[in-house]
Amino acid sequence: MSAMNRISLFVLFSVCSIGVFAQSVNEQSQRRQEIESQIEVIDKQINSSKEQQQATIRNLDLLQQKVTSRKQLLSSIEMQINLLNDSIVNKERAVSILREEYEKVEFSYLQILYKAYPLRNLQTWAIHILASDNLPQAYRRWQYFKNYSRYLNQQASQIKATNDLLAEEIGSLRRLRTEAEGIKGLQQRELTTLNQEERQSRQLVSEMSRQEGMLRSQLQQKQRELDAINRQISSLMAEEERSRLASNTTELEVNRALAANFEQNKGQLPWPLNGVITEPYGQRNHPVLKGIKMPFNNGVDISAHHAEDVRAVFEGVVKQIVLLPAGYNQCILVQHGSYYTFYCKLGSVKVKTGDIVATGDVLGSLSETDSDLTLHFEIWNGTTKQNPEQWLRKK
């Protein structure tokens, strides 16, 4: 294989490798930005709670979730560093190969120049051609000099191309090393922050452990409030389901078709607003009291950066708009065949009962006066509650 072909293959391989590397790094960078955005939302919620001097359990939950997110961020940074290190190794190998190729081509070119030195000017060439015995011999000599000159020019061009590519690869290598150093610096800063947050979490657990009586009282109060709200929501769902089953045949067929479409989008539903889940579905252990369970969460709580619009996750009909206690504020129930989505803690409502909504339509917005800025979101199949995290698309 000629030197030029080897260089061409090398360039093709380098371009392909750079494309794959850039895609991987961009994916990790995007993932890093998403996690940083989640941490920013959690920070805002923690600061809001501190300003109100309340919800210490919530503060601990948020702080522990921030620690988890920070670890995910560090994991993403580590993957990005590994990708950069792999690319640096490949670039170093590429630079080494190019240097060897450049030296070979340059040495070959110098040898040719040395041999061509006696024929360094046009006068020498002309004398040699004119000294031919006959016209065919003169033509052959002229053709030889012409091809030789072209070959010399090609070799010079090849040397320049190899040198340019070598310079480009060296520059790319320098940029990769600089980027790797910057990412390593970020990693160290995030690790320091993680250690601080873990210390804060341990201190808060220790402080709250000394207030067991107050915590148990708060938990019992929250349990009573949520039990009352959950009974009210379950009653609302049962009422709507009875109404749906009592519908005529045509309406039932429409409901079945809409429900089937809803089911096909499991795991692909858009989020009702931009934010991060700060309280998951289901029941979990109390973060401080050993052997004690937290109240069951029928849905998920999604915290946002600011008071923003809440949107329908699927086409359907607005069935009810209700006001619930304990900070749940205004709530909107949307029917999707035999499925229902429930949106709570709204400050304003922009739809009315009976409205037909499409996916992405604005239902209302979070309260601007409520510094909590959290949406409570539930999904039901008839009278059976669902885990919304299994229905919403992954971020």
317-343: pLDDT as tens digits: 999 999 998 789 999 999 999 999 999
Contacts of 209 by beta carbon, 8 Å cutoff, 6+ apart: 288
Tell me which H or E stretch contains 17: helix 3-52
Using CA of residue 103, residue 108, residue 111, residue 116, what is the dihedral sign? Answer: negative
Residue 133: which pLDDT band, with cuts at 50, 70 and 90? Answer: low
User: What residues pair up with 375 in beta bridges, in sequence order?
Assistant: 302
Q: Whole-model pTM?
A: 0.66
Question: How many angstroms separate the CA atoms of 202 and 317, rounded?
Answer: 47
What are the tens digits of pLDDT across the range 65-106? 888 888 988 988 888 888 888 888 888 888 888 888 888 877
Q: Check residue 392 and report its DSSP letter.
A: B
Q: Give the least confident one: 197-206, 229-238, 253-262, 268-277.
A: 197-206
pLDDT over threshold 50, residue 55: no
Within the chain, which residue ranges are assigned CATH 2.70.70.10? 212-390
CATH class assigned to 212-390: mainly beta
**Percentage of residues in the chain having pLDDT higher than 90:** 28
Question: How many angstroms separate the CA atoms of 208 and 191, rounded?
Answer: 26
Question: How many angstroms separate the CA atoms of 229 and 304, rounded?
Answer: 23
Question: How many angstroms separate the CA atoms of 318 and 357, rounded?
Answer: 7
Tokens 């601990």 sit at which residue?
A: 60
How far is residue 84 from each of residues 2, 88, 187, measured CA to CA in Å? 32, 6, 14
Distance linking the first and last C-alpha atoms of the chain? 49
> What's the confidence (pLDDT) of residue 54?
42
Contacts of 210 by beta carbon, 8 Å cutoff, 6+ apart: none
Hey, is 298 helix, strand or coil?
Answer: coil
Q: Under a CB-based contact definition with an 8 Å cutoff, are residues 243 and 340 in contact?
A: no
How far is residue 39 from each of residues 44, 71, 82, 291, 320, measured CA to CA in Å? 9, 11, 23, 29, 34
Question: How many angstroms separate the CA atoms of 319 and 238, rounded?
Answer: 13
> What's the confidence (pLDDT) of residue 316?
96
Q: 120: buried, middle or exposed (CB in 10 Å: 19+, 13-18, 0-12)?
A: exposed
Q: Give the strand pairing for 339-349 and 309-311.
A: unpaired
Question: How many angstroms separate the CA atoms of 281 and 228, rounded?
Answer: 18
How far is residue 16 from each of residues 12, 23, 95, 174, 322, measured CA to CA in Å? 6, 11, 16, 20, 57
> What's the confidence (pLDDT) of residue 390?
96
Q: Which tokens go with 116?
A: 């061509």
Tell me which H or E stretch contains 341: strand 339-349
Question: How many angstroms separate the CA atoms of 233 and 383, rounded?
Answer: 10
Residue type at position 196:
Q
Average pLDDT of 304-318?
91
pLDDT over threshold 90, residue 355: yes
